Amino acid sequence: MDFTALTRAMDGMAVSSALAAATVFVCGIAAASGPASLTVVSPAFADGGMIPVKHTCDGRDVSPEIRISGVPAGAVSLAILCDDPDAPVGDWVHWLLFNLPPDTKTLAEGISLDDLHGSMAVPGANSWGKLTYGGPCPPSGTHRYFFKIYALSSKLDLPAGANKAKFLEAIHGRVLAEGHLMGRYARL
């Protein structure tokens, strides 16, 4: 084999190797990137901050105002799940709503089922077995409360009162974007 042929063969292998490496790199990034991010904020508390008493069992026990932005154009519905992973009995669900309209920008403070009636939103069950918001009420210490918002590619075919396990099963493969806001609370 002459030097020119050898150089061409090596150049061909280098190009093939570079293309293969680029493909693996790009596919790896795509596979690892997951859903897009939503922005979730509240005027009641900063991310990582203390949740005001009025949003807890020690106060009026009303949901805080939640503001959502960054919902992708293809979203068909939104869902909110608020849970406490620090509960002594395991993860404790404080609030679950799904099939909210994708153009929802704000969940008002103290939002009720009556307020949601025209939106076709469906309440899931919290860990007390209720279809409403149940505020932080830790038995001891400071707990973390995650207000998670999901932008979904479809509505969920779940009945009112569905629990967190059924909800998570139903959203599998449908999450286009997600975000969360974490607040903390300790009993008085």
164 touches 91 (CB < 8 A): yes
Distance CA 15, CA 21 (A): 10
Residues 78 and 51 in one domain: yes
Q: What is the CATH number of the domain that holds 156?
A: 3.90.280.10
Residues 52 and 12 in one domain: no
Residues 142 and 97 in one domain: yes
Residues 98 and 9 in one domain: no
Question: What pLDDT digit, counting tens, does each position of 28-52 carry?
Answer: 333 346 789 999 999 999 999 999 9
Within 8 A by CB and 6+ apart from 25, the residues are: none
Residues 12 and 66 in one domain: no
Average pLDDT for 105-132: 90
Q: Would you state the pLDDT for residue 119?
A: 75
Residues 82 and 154 in one domain: yes
Tell me which residue has tokens 């307020």: 115
Distance CA 64, CA 56 (A): 10
Q: Would you state the pLDDT for residue 97?
A: 97
One-character DSSP codes across 62-91: -PPPEEEE---TT--EEEEEEEETT-TTS-
Residues 146 and 162 in one domain: yes
Residues 13 and 90 in one domain: no
Expressed as residue numbers, the domain containing 18 is 1-33
Distance CA 58, CA 139 (A): 12
Average pLDDT for 69-95: 97
Within 8 A by CB and 6+ apart from 129, the residues are: none
Taking phi first (over 0 means left), then psi (-120 to 50 degrees means alpha), and beta for anything else, what does residue 185 get? beta
Phi and psi at residue 72, in whole multiples of 5°?
-70, 155
Residues 40 and 104 in one domain: yes
Residues 171 and 88 in one domain: yes
The count of domains in the chain is 2
Residues 105 and 156 in one domain: yes
Taking phi first (over 0 means left), then psi (-120 to 50 degrees means alpha), and beta for anything else, what does residue 17 get? alpha
Residues 40 and 64 in one domain: yes
Average pLDDT for 108-125: 87
Tell me which residue has tokens 């939640």: 66
